[in-house]
Amino acid sequence: MRPKDKIAYFYDGDVGSVYFGPNHPMKPHRLCMTHHLVLAYDLHKKMEIYRPHKAYPVELAQFHSADYVEFLHRITPDTQHLFSNELARYNLGEDCPVFENLFEFCQIYAGGTIDAARRLNNQLCDIAINWAGGLHHAKKCEASGFCYINDLVLGILELLKYHARVLYIDIDVHHGDGVEEAFYFTDRVMTVSFHKYGDMFFPGTGDVKDIGEREGKFYAINVPLKDGIDDTSFTRLFKTIISKVVEMYQPGAIVLQCGADSLAGDRLGCFNLSIDGHAECVRIVKKFNLPLLVTGGGGYTKENVARCWTVETGVLLDTELPNEIPENEYIKYFAPECLLNIPNGHIEHTQDKQIQRDDEYYDGDNDNDQNMDM
């Protein structure tokens, strides 16, 4: 009988208190909600919990250009009006706004993924979790799609110090373009992304014909999907493709990005996955018994993001969770049913409730989501 996996879990409460601003769909507050659900289910008692270090600028510059990192470090909401050229150059603006404590936010979520990779490298755990990470769109010299620093690339670079080959898997509804681009010319990282493609859907990349170049040719796999894909189709594709990839590529470690915007009812997504269907992908990857780094990613219906990542924490711990959500600080977000699993196709669009709650949470900030594209 194989010994139980040792799990390391990274969390810093400060990451959930940053605010992207009114009308912005990214709510880091979802990380507090996830953490409190994890605590309410007593999952923390089965893991080692760590507060990540804040990644140093020199660590961020292992992938990103030094001038971009320096600018993120320097810019504030009060001074941004002085830097219109740089804001345009680094793609900071509507999607990627400059907000209070932006750089510290990047340092925390990137530090979590770097620390997770280091613990795996040192064989101090079998699985490492950083739900604050997974910001897969950020590029070497610019922000993109709500992502400023690409923690996944930094984590993979860390894993490559100890492993000849790393497999990256992405189940966010959006293509993992930043990670694919970073490793497009190497065979040391295989990237596999399952995502919505077509209809001008962001970021517009991830065609099945994009397979890598030079030494990286055939080491990028894209699985472009249409609106409305359900559990049965998604998990069948996922299991078939990933099983063959692991068999042929034989990675030393796996990084799994678990963007929850592929769930039914997501404010920005268009798939029809239930939480169980999404979590089945995690279960499949866990069974390979390889060093595994698990991150969050997208996910814009906050209560369902928290449900999903809590269920997936349970999956990684081989722990079945009762469907009734225990009392916790954020229980009102899960009302009236207060259940963990909601079948696909029945996840309510809780936009109106979310607007009201976010207004309350930010104590007067006008977090009015009504103008967001659905």
**Does 194 score more than 50 pLDDT?**
yes
Find the DSSP H helices in 220-366. 231-249, 275-286, 302-316, 351-361
Contacts 24+ apart (CB under 8 A), 261-264: 261/172, 261/173, 261/174, 261/297, 261/298, 261/299, 261/300, 262/171, 262/172, 262/173, 262/194, 262/234, 262/298, 263/299, 263/301, 263/304, 263/305, 263/308, 263/344, 263/347, 264/344, 264/345, 264/346, 264/347
**Does 355 score more than 90 pLDDT?**
no
Residue type, 112: G
pTM of the full predicted structure? 0.93
The pLDDT of 113-133, averaged and rounded, is 98
**Does 52 score more than 60 pLDDT?**
yes
The pLDDT of 20-40, averaged and rounded, is 97
The pLDDT of 171-190, averaged and rounded, is 98
In angstroms, the CA 43 to CA 45 distance is: 5
Residue type, 73: H
Which strand (E) or helix (H) includes residue 69? helix 66-74
In angstroms, the CA 119 to CA 210 distance is: 33
The pLDDT of 265-271, averaged and rounded, is 97
Q: Binding-site residues for a divalent metal cation, please? A: 172, 174, 261
Q: Are 136 and 176 in contact (CB under 8 A)?
A: yes
The pLDDT of 92-107, averaged and rounded, is 98
In angstroms, the CA 355 to CA 352 distance is: 5
Interval 128-172: pLDDT, tens = 999 999 999 999 999 999 999 999 999 999 999 999 999 999 999
**Does 371 score more than 50 pLDDT?**
no
Beta-carbon contacts of 340 under 8 Å, excluding residues fewer than 6 positions away, are 275, 307, 310, 311, 321, 322, 323, 324, 325
Q: Binding-site residues, please? A: 95, 145, 172, 174, 261, 300
DSSP 273: B
Q: What are the φ/ψ torsions at residue 244 (nearest 5 degrees)?
A: -70, -40
Q: Are 224 and 207 in contact (CB under 8 A)?
A: yes
What is the per-residue pLDDT for 342? 77
Domain residue extents for the chain: 7-362
The pLDDT of 168-178, averaged and rounded, is 98
What is the per-residue pLDDT for 1? 57
What is the token pair recorded at 203? 């970021």
In angstroms, the CA 3 to CA 234 distance is: 31
Query: Hey, what CATH topology would domain 7-362 get?
Result: Arginase; Chain A (3.40.800)
Interval 226-251: pLDDT, tens = 999 999 999 999 999 999 999 999 99
User: String of b and e for 110-131 (b: at least 16 CB within 10 Å)?
Assistant: bbbbbbbbbbbbeeebbbbbbb
What is the per-residue pLDDT for 2? 63
Instruction: Tell me the catalytic residues.
Output: 137
What is the per-residue pLDDT for 3? 76
**Does 361 score more than 80 pLDDT?**
no
Q: Binding-site residues for substrate, please? A: 95, 145, 300
* DSSP 3-state of 22: coil
In terms of Cβ atoms closer than 10 Å to its own Cβ (0-12, 13-18, 19+), residue 296 is: buried
Q: What are the φ/ψ torsions at residue 230 (nearest 5 degrees)?
A: -110, 180
The pLDDT of 260-265, averaged and rounded, is 97
Beta-carbon contacts of 105 under 8 Å, excluding residues fewer than 6 positions away, are 15, 18, 28, 148
Q: Which of 86, 154, 146 is nearest to 118 (CA)?
A: 154
Interval 269-306: pLDDT, tens = 999 999 999 999 999 999 999 999 999 999 999 999 99
Cα 83 to Cα 95, 162, 208, 315, 337, distances in angstroms: 17, 40, 39, 46, 48
In angstroms, the CA 228 to CA 73 distance is: 40
**Does 370 score more than 50 pLDDT?**
no
The pLDDT of 191-196, averaged and rounded, is 98
In angstroms, the CA 145 to CA 240 distance is: 29
Q: Which residues pair with 253 in a beta bridge?
A: 166
User: In the predicted model, what is the mean pLDDT of the chain?
Assistant: 93
Q: Which of 335, 254, 323, 321 is nearest to 287 (CA)?
A: 254
* DSSP 3-state of 57: helix
